[in-house]
């Protein structure tokens, strides 16, 4: 038993030393990787490195990939601005409509909706405008106009997804064309010379890299836009149910 207690501290010290050594090795490896990236020809893939790599990739496919990024970001900015303007405080709007119904009736509630921006207020207005025909007519108007507003929210989103798909495809196409050019040079030279084909292979791989970078950037914004649309649609559905409840209560 005494031997056992004397062995345990020794094992603990050995394990601690191993962990320290592993940690030091990890830091050393990370430092070496960072040094390699910084010292790489063209500056690696930092800010200046990306510009150098882009120029090295050539104006053909690189220009098309850059155009996909610019047009895709234009649609992204337009959608983000529209969705932010379409966001409404539905609880505040529902409370205001309820107070207007109790104090001034349907016309007062419609006036509240006219003075409020966003798809929820537009849906409320359509429902209130059909309220004199009955609750069922108002509900049908809310559902129908809700579909119209949903289409407006999703407008141009398909273009963003299109550029997400096209950008890496263009990069892969550039890679294939570059590899074909490299093999053509091998066939002409009658042998494999690394210095002869390295440039074509490098350009081929750069087109793929930048195509993937464009797709990743647009994908992040696309997911944000989709989540924003889902949130607005959920608010529209909840608010529509609240409006029908208010009309039923007001009728009684």
DSSP letter at 133? G
| Two structure tokens written together for 76 | 């992204």
Lowest mean pLDDT among 7-11, 174-178, 226-230: 7-11
Residue 54 has pLDDT above 90, yes or no: no
pLDDT, residue 49, reads 55
pLDDT, residue 23, reads 40
List, as one string, the DSSP characters of 6-72: HHHHHHHHHHHHHHHHHHHHHHHHHHHHHHHHHHSGGGTTSHHHHHHHHHHT-HHHHHHHHHHHHHH
Question: Which position has the higher pLDDT, 241 or 6?
Answer: 241
Buried b (16+ CB within 10 A) or exposed e, 105-114: ebebbbebbe
The whole-angstrom separation of Cα 206 and Cα 57 is 6
DSSP letter at 1? -
Q: Using alpha carbons, select from 89, 235, 79 the residue that is nearest to residue 160.
A: 79
* Average pLDDT score over the chain: 75
Confidence class of residue 109 from pLDDT cuts 50, 70 and 90?
confident
3-state secondary structure 53-117: HHHHCCHHHHHHHHHHHHHHHHHHHHHHHHHHHHCCCHHHHHHHHHHHHHHHCHHHHHHHHHCCC
| Two structure tokens written together for 126 | 């359509």
pLDDT, residue 129, reads 85
Query: What average pLDDT does this structure show over 102-122?
Result: 86
> Whole-model pTM?
0.70
Confidence class of residue 110 from pLDDT cuts 50, 70 and 90?
confident
Question: Which position has the higher pLDDT, 13 or 168?
Answer: 168
pLDDT, residue 74, reads 95
pLDDT, residue 220, reads 95
Burial of 232 (0-12, 13-18, 19+ CB in 10 A): buried
Instruction: Kindly report, residue by residue over 188-242, the tens digit of the pLDDT.
Output: 766 666 666 666 677 777 888 888 999 999 999 999 999 999 999 998 888 888 8
pLDDT, residue 171, reads 82
């Amino acid at each position: 038993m005494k031997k056992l207690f004397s062995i345990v501290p020794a094992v603990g010290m050995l394990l601690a030393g191993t962990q320290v050594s592993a940690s030091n090795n990890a830091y050393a490896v990370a430092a070496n990787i960072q040094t390699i990236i910084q010292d790489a020809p063209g500056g690696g893939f930092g800010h200046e490195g990306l510009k150098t790599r882009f120029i090295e990739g050539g104006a053909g496919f690189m220009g098309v990939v850059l155009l996909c990024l610019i047009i895709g970001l234009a649609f992204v900015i337009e959608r983000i601005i529209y969705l932010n303007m379409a966001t409404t405080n539905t609880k505040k709007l529902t409370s205001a409509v309820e107070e207007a119904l109790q104090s001034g009736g349907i016309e007062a509630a419609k006036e509240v909706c006219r003075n409020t921006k966003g798809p929820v207020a537009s849906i409320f207005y359509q429902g209130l405008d059909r309220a004199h025909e009955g609750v069922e007519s108002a509900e049908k108007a809310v559902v129908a106009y809700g579909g119209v507003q949903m289409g407006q929210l999703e407008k141009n989103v398909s273009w963003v997804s299109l550029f997400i798909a096209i950008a890496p495809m263009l990069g892969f196409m550039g890679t294939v064309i570059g590899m074909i050019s490299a093999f053509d040079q091998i066939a002409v030279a009658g042998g494999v010379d690394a210095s002869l084909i390295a440039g074509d292979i490098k350009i081929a791989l750069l087109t793929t890299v930048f195509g993937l970078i464009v797709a990743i950037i647009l994908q992040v914004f696309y997911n944000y836009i989709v989540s924003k649309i889902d949130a607005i649609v959920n608010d529209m559905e909840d608010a529509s149910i609240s409006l029908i409840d208010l009309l039923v209560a007001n009728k009684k």
